[in-house]
Amino acid sequence: MIPVTSLAGKKVALFGLGASGVASARALAAGGAAVAAWDDSTASVEEARRAGVPVVDLKAADWKQFAALVLSPGVPLTHPAPHWSVEKAKAAGVEIVGDIELFCRERRRHAPEASFIAVTGTNGKSTTTALIAHLLRFNGRDAQLGGNIGTPILSLEPPRTGRHHVIEVSSFQIDLAPSIDPSVGVLLNITPDHLDRHGTVEHYAAVKERLVAGSELAVVGVDDDRSRAIADRLEQAGRQVARISGHFPVARGFYVEGATLFEAADGADRTIASLAGIGALRGVHNGQNAAAAAAAVRAVGLRDIDIAAGLRTFPGLPHRMEEVGRRGEILFINDSKATNADAAEKALASFSRIYWIAGGRPKAGGISGLDNYFPRIVKAYLIGEAAEEFARTLSGKVPYTIAGTLAAAVRAAAEDAARDRTGAESVVLLSPACASYDQFRNFEERGDAFRALVKELEGIHAKGEAA
């Protein structure tokens, strides 16, 4: 735990009693603050009370007594409308912060020299964050992994010299961290997302930019126009910038061309590692993730040989291009995390002969932007609420069947792939391009179900097993 000493002796309101909220309440109390915590969910309030968190009905509280409101990132700050706790805090002149901001203040107070690597972006931030931590740990470094990827930041060990905090940071968390100042800030990419919470893509991009604008070294992806413009602005402002790309050379930074990772410094390009054969880093998008991770760990002293060895041993993350089994020339890939078309595009671009399982609760735009990848799809198996909509998009372009359920889709895709006589590797790919909520509680449950269904098939060998 990281005790929050910056609010010692003060009364602090806290709203949102999920994992990060409870962790924040405990860290605040450990640092000497008097916490008044609340949630709109009665069940969450009672669970927190049983866990020893001081709960107070903030709707009836006198807000003038509070020095700060610590807001959980899932609670609306501005859009579609400020939460009632935000309105009360603003009316009383109370500052509003989140757990990332509290961490930043503690780091500046107690260990300003400690390494803080923060990763954001629309897609790829979990893989990149995990990869950075893996590279550091593989090479004997103390890497604390957390934030939006899972463990709340204030539940980690405190900052100190020689310790690296490798933190995934969402746009919601950046919004609540006005003084965020990582030693290395990573911005992977920006595509329209979370507009219900940020109003416009311009505001969403501006929030993301704040993370790298406040960093000592800004590692910025240049494979999309908005991020490239951010890199340009930072360089023009005299900031230290390392550009990264998954598919074309850069002047200064790291890039992947083919399956080779290079470091570039004003025309002097040096080979760092080969990504060939690393299943967890397939595709152009993962090339960019690897380039970002290399830039981050190079900044804290890892050598080429350290980076190359660590990349070869990266196991990947569940539900993100996860190889769950193989049967002869058929590969089964769990990409359940692909909850929108932009994310599914990365998987479709990584394989050439695909039996595609897609569908769920559709998002705006559906899969209409994926037409360029349709020639790679042998057949599609459509599930959930999106099945009819996706069928209309695919009609006349890609053979499809409306399977309805994931179980039916896996069986049908596996049978069809088994009849594939081309001799080339074929892939049964779950990359839904949809939210999971119509049939599953979350993308993890959907991915777990896919993994279990694949393992039930006859002749399946899990990753690492001999065929």
Contact at 8 Å (CB) between 178 and 100? no
The answer to whether position 296 is within a domain reads: yes
Final residue in a domain of this structure, among 293, 312, 331: 312
Per-residue model confidence as pLDDT tens digits over 444-455: 999 999 999 999
For residue 377, pLDDT beyond 80:
yes
Q: Is the dihedral of CA 291, 295, 296, 297 positive or negative?
A: positive
Helix axes 406-418, 443-455, angle to 10 degrees: 40
Buried b (16+ CB within 10 A) or exposed e, 298-330: bbbebeeebbbebbeebebbbbbbbbbbbbebb
Looking at the structure, tell me whether residues 182 and 207 fall in a common domain.
yes
96 sits in which H/E element = strand 95-97
List all residues 6 or more positions away from 167 whose beta carbon is below 8 Å from its beta carbon: 100, 103, 116, 117, 118, 119, 129, 145, 146, 147, 148, 149, 153, 182
CATH number, domain with residue 173: 3.40.1190.10
Looking at the structure, tell me whether residues 105 and 242 fall in a common domain.
yes
Q: Could you tell me the pTM of the whole model? A: 0.89
- Rounded mean pLDDT of 339-343? 89
pLDDT at position 465: 56
Per-residue model confidence as pLDDT tens digits over 238-268: 999 999 999 899 999 999 998 999 999 877 8
Looking at the structure, tell me whether residues 288 and 243 fall in a common domain.
yes
pLDDT at position 120: 97
CA distance 428 to 416: 10
CA distance 432 to 293: 27
Final residue in a domain of this structure, among 258, 293, 312: 312
Looking at the structure, tell me whether residues 206 and 230 fall in a common domain.
yes
The answer to whether position 38 is within a domain reads: yes
DSSP 3-state of 167: strand
pLDDT at position 111: 98
Looking at the structure, tell me whether residues 177 and 93 fall in a common domain.
no
CB atoms within 10 A of CB 397: 12
CATH number, domain with residue 89: 3.40.50.720
Q: DSSP character for 7? A: G
Looking at the structure, tell me whether residues 349 and 268 fall in a common domain.
no
pLDDT at position 352: 94
The answer to whether position 463 is within a domain reads: no
CATH number, domain with residue 338: 3.90.190.20
Query: In what side-by-side order are the strands of the sheet with 163-168?
Result: 142-147, 163-168, 115-120, 184-187, 217-221, 240-245, 252-257, 260-265, 268-274
- Rounded mean pLDDT of 142-168? 97
Query: At residue 55, what are phi and psi to the nearest 5 degrees?
Result: -110, 140
Please report which confidence band the pLDDT of residue 467 belongs to, taking 50, 70 and 90 as the band edges. Answer: very low
Give the count of alpha carbons within 13 A of 461, CB side only: 11
Contact at 8 Å (CB) between 266 and 252? yes
CA distance 167 to 151: 9
Helix axes 283-299, 125-138, angle to 10 degrees: 50
The answer to whether position 75 is within a domain reads: yes
- Rounded mean pLDDT of 70-84? 93
Per-residue model confidence as pLDDT tens digits over 352-372: 999 999 999 998 889 989 999
CA distance 55 to 48: 7
Looking at the structure, tell me whether residues 292 and 326 fall in a common domain.
no
CA distance 205 to 273: 31
Looking at the structure, tell me whether residues 91 and 207 fall in a common domain.
no
For residue 464, pLDDT beyond 70:
no
Per-residue model confidence as pLDDT tens digits over 268-310: 899 999 999 898 998 889 999 999 999 999 999 999 999 999 9
* Measured CA angle at 401 (ends 400, 403), to 5 deg: 140
Final residue in a domain of this structure, among 279, 312, 345: 312
Looking at the structure, tell me whether residues 171 and 267 fall in a common domain.
yes
Contact at 8 Å (CB) between 26 and 3? no
Range of the domain at 259: 101-312
Q: DSSP character for 384? A: S
CA distance 186 to 219: 5
Looking at the structure, tell me whether residues 298 and 363 fall in a common domain.
no
- Rounded mean pLDDT of 171-181? 96
Phi-psi region of 331 (alpha: psi -120 to 50; beta: other; left: phi over 0): beta
Please report which confidence band the pLDDT of residue 34 belongs to, taking 50, 70 and 90 as the band edges. Answer: very high
pLDDT at position 19: 94
Q: How far is CA 219 from CA 122, 173, 175, 316, in A?
A: 15, 19, 20, 21
Looking at the structure, tell me whether residues 82 and 135 fall in a common domain.
no
For residue 129, pLDDT beyond 80:
yes
State both tokens at 28.
Answer: 């605040």
List all residues 6 or more positions away from 201 whose beta carbon is below 8 Å from its beta carbon: 190, 192, 195, 226
Looking at the structure, tell me whether residues 166 and 249 fall in a common domain.
yes
The answer to whether position 467 is within a domain reads: no
The answer to whether position 461 is within a domain reads: no
pLDDT at position 421: 83
Provide the domain count of the chain.
Answer: 3
Q: DSSP character for 159? A: P
Q: What percent of the chain has pLDDT over 90?
A: 88
The answer to whether position 460 is within a domain reads: no
DSSP 3-state of 438: coil
CA distance 286 to 221: 12
Strand partners, 255: 245, 262
The answer to whether position 466 is within a domain reads: no
CB atoms within 10 A of CB 458: 7
Please name the amino acid found at residue 48.
A
